[in-house]
Structure 1
Amino acid sequence: MDVLVLIGRLLFVGLFLSSGVAHLTKTGPMAGYAASRGVPMAVPATVAGGLLILAGGISVAVGLWADLGALALAAFCFPTAVLMHGFWKDSEPEAKMMERTQFLKDTALGGAALLLFAFFAYAGHDLGLMVTGPALSIG
């Protein structure tokens, strides 16, 4: 079971880690896109988002207060879904469909991150292959 949880954690955070690196190494283009979607202070938001998902992704990957890492990922996903992928603002059918898909992806990942938070906070002390137990405890 411990190995399956580790594999799941690593597969889950791969997207966040690669995206976090892109936020920090390709800040200009990413901030430009964020600005085009109406995100205020796009450059600081891009850098802050990159740092948040890197920290959260590393936390979940290595099991260092993974519950807080999962919460950080959820805290990134839900605002990103609304601010960056507001498909209801698009009038072009292709753009609307693409943004709707991205919106649903981000909300699904945020939901999965909330599930991981609950999982780590509830069973974290019993999981192997973690650096620490959870910072918070449920039940």
Structure 2
Amino acid sequence: MDVLVLIGRVLFVLLFLGSGFGHIAQRKQMVEYAKFKGVPLAEVAVPASGVLLLAGALSVLLGVWADLGSLLLLVFLVPTAFLMHAFWKETDAEAKQLDMIQFNKDISLAGAALMLFAFFAYVGSDLGLTLTGPLFSLS
């Protein structure tokens, strides 16, 4: 089971690693898009969210307080869904459809991150192939 969980962790964080890197490497373009979407303090929010994404993803990937890493990803995903993908505000049918897809993706991934948090916090140190045990305990 340890190997299956490790493979799942790797697959789960690929999206977040790429996105976190993009928030930092393509900061200027992402700040402009965030401003267009009405994100307050976009100049600060974009690089900060990139760091949040990278920290959460690396935590889950490496198994260093993976429960905390899961919560960091959750903290990114929920506000992002509502701020960046507010499909209910769109009037263009194509833009509305794209935002609805992205909103649903973010909410679904938030659910997965919440389940990962519970999994890591409940199983604790019994889960192999991690560098540390969880920071929180649900058992």
Offset, 1:124: 2.5
Cα distance in 2 for partners of 1:22, 1:33 equals 13
Offset, 1:83: 0.3
| TM-score, normalised with respect to structure 1 | 0.99
* Map of 1:128 onto structure 2: 128
Do residues 31 (structure 1) and 49 (structure 2) align? no
Offset, 1:53: 0.6
Offset, 1:43: 1.5
Deviations 1:84-129 (CA, angstroms, capped at 9, x unpaired) = 0000110011100000000000000011000000000000211100
| TM-score, normalised with respect to structure 2 | 0.99
Unaligned runs of 5+ in 2: none
Q: CA RMSD in A?
A: 0.5
Partner-residue secondary structure (3-state), 1:129: coil
Cα distance in 1 for partners of 2:5, 2:31 equals 34
* Map of 1:58 onto structure 2: 58
* Map of 1:8 onto structure 2: 8
Within-5 A mapping of 1:1-139: 1-139=1-139
* Corresponding pairs, count: 139
Cα distance in 2 for partners of 1:4, 1:125 equals 16
Question: Once superposed, which parts of structure 1, at least 4 consecutive aligned residues long, lie more than 3 Å away?
Answer: none
